[in-house]
Amino acid sequence: MKLLIEQSLIYSETEIKITCSLMDDRLKRLIEQIRLFSFSVTAKKDGVAIAIPLEEIYYFDTADNKTFIYMEDAVYPCDKKLYEYVPNHRNIYGYFKKY
């Protein structure tokens, strides 16, 4: 496998292109990790919607029918219910614990 990185200020966004002869399980897992890396969750900070990258979230919790996003040094409320994340993102970083 070769990894080619081309960095230039002429690009306005990051593009990942995968060229292969056959997509095996290892490559599928790599692609899934890349997709998860670009996933973010919307939360509220001082009444304004912000996007929080998934890798910065420690865990989700619910209390009084509200969902909260816990980060290293902050807690933010979010509009979605916890169960709304499970069907689409069941395998977030390899696990999704449900009580």
Spell out the per-residue pLDDT of the chain, length 99, in tens. Answer: 888 899 999 988 888 899 999 999 999 988 888 877 777 888 888 888 888 988 888 998 888 888 899 999 999 998 888 777 765 555 544 545 544
* Domain boundaries of the chain, sorted by first residue: 41-94
Annotate 39-49 with b (16+ C-beta within 10 A) or e (fewer): eebebeeeeee
What is the Cα–Cα distance from 7 to 15, expressed in whole angstroms?
Answer: 11
What sign does the CA torsion over 72, 73, 74, 75 have?
positive
- The CA-atom distances, in angstroms, between 74 and each of 12, 16, 70 are 30, 31, 6
